[in-house]
Amino acid sequence: MANTQGIGATFKQAALGAVIDGKALKAALYLASATTGPANSAYTATGEVSGTNYAAGGVSVTNANSAGLTSTTAFWTPSASIVYTNVTLTTAFDAVMIYSTTDSNRNVGVFTFGSQTVTAGTFTLTMPTNDATTGLVRFQ
Amino acid sequence: MIFTTYGYLPEDQVELRPTATEDEDKIVTRTDKYLKSTGEWVGNDLHVHLKKPLSLEVAQGQFS
């Protein structure tokens, strides 16, 4: 039996948990023409969508999950779908930023989903299964 | 009740026409809404199921 090198699995879980567990999160939508991405350190209004029934900053994210750990992969996924109700967003958008209002609007991640528009309707972002294989954010 | 460009309308007055597309990153279902009486388009709902996670490979350095 040989020794194995590697970052500790519980270290990964603790690192992910430090920015996720118990935090108040929000989700903002961005125009397809914007340049929002991982380099944004925090939420920005630049390039954010605007339209009927959409408030700047987006909507709250249900965050009942804490960082999980299976084998050596830490993972986390919002615990409910993200829903924008009865909105009209006629300029194409293709990304959502999840950010932590608890931590000065720190950018947790930007996720793209292809160019979309909604008129007088509800936009729902459904989350993948919260596990080490498909969880929305994973430290491997 | 279904929300449309005319506000909320009874379900029996609105025809829903869903179309779905899927790739390795997502499943997108767009549901267009039409007035049954005139065929007028009165909006759309959108449902995106995210499939592709963001992963961070935690790197470990070597002793020099």
Min Cα separation A105/chain B (Å)? 19
In a domain, B17, yes or no: yes
Task: Please tell me if residue B64 touches chain A, with a CB cutoff of 8 Å.
Answer: no
Which of A122, A126, A138 has the CB atom closest to B55's CB atom? Answer: A138
Cβ-based contacts of B53 with chain A (< 8 Å) = 75, 128, 134-138
pTM: 0.93
Q: Could you give the number of structural domains in chain B?
A: 1
Give how far A6 is from chain B: nearest CA, Å.
7
The residues in A 8-37 lying below 8 A from B, measured between CB atoms, are 12
Contacts of B22 in chain A (CB under 8 A): none
Handedness of CA B47, A130, A72, A103 (dihedral sign): positive
Q: B45, B52, B60, B63: best mutation site toward chain A, by most A Cβ within 10 Å?
A: B45
The lowest-confidence range among A48-52, A64-68, A131-135 is A131-135
Positive or negative, the Cα torsion across B9, B46, A31, A24? positive
pLDDT value at B56 more than 80: no
pLDDT at residue A77 is higher than 90? yes
For residue B25, the model assigns a pLDDT of: 84
Instruction: Indicate which of A83, A94, A113 best probes the interface with B, i.e. most B CBs within 10 Å of its own CB.
Output: A113
pLDDT above 90 for A88: yes
Query: Residue B61: pLDDT above 90?
Result: no
Alpha-carbon Rg of chain A, whole angstroms? 16
Is pLDDT above 90 for B60? no
| Assigned domain for B60 exists | no
Is residue B57 assigned to a domain? no
B56, part of any domain = no
What is residue A104's predicted lDDT score, i.e. its pLDDT? Answer: 97
Give the per-residue pLDDT at A68. 96
Range of the domain at B45: 2-50
Asked whether the predicted pLDDT for residue B59 surpasses 90, the reply is no
How confident is the model over A63-75, as a mean pLDDT? 95
Query: Is there a contact between B58 and A12 if contact means CB atoms under 8 Å apart?
Result: yes
| B61 falls within a domain | no
A79 three-state secondary structure: coil
Specify if B55 maps to a domain. Answer: no
The pLDDT tens digits for B3-37 are 999 999 999 999 999 999 998 888 999 999 999 99
Per-residue HEC secondary structure of A10-62 comes to HHHHHHHHHHHCCCCEEEEEEECCCCCCCCCCECCCCCECCEECECCCCEEEC
What pLDDT shows up at residue A5?
87
Average confidence score pLDDT of chain B: 91
Q: Inter-chain contact B33–A121, Cβ cutoff 8 Å?
A: yes
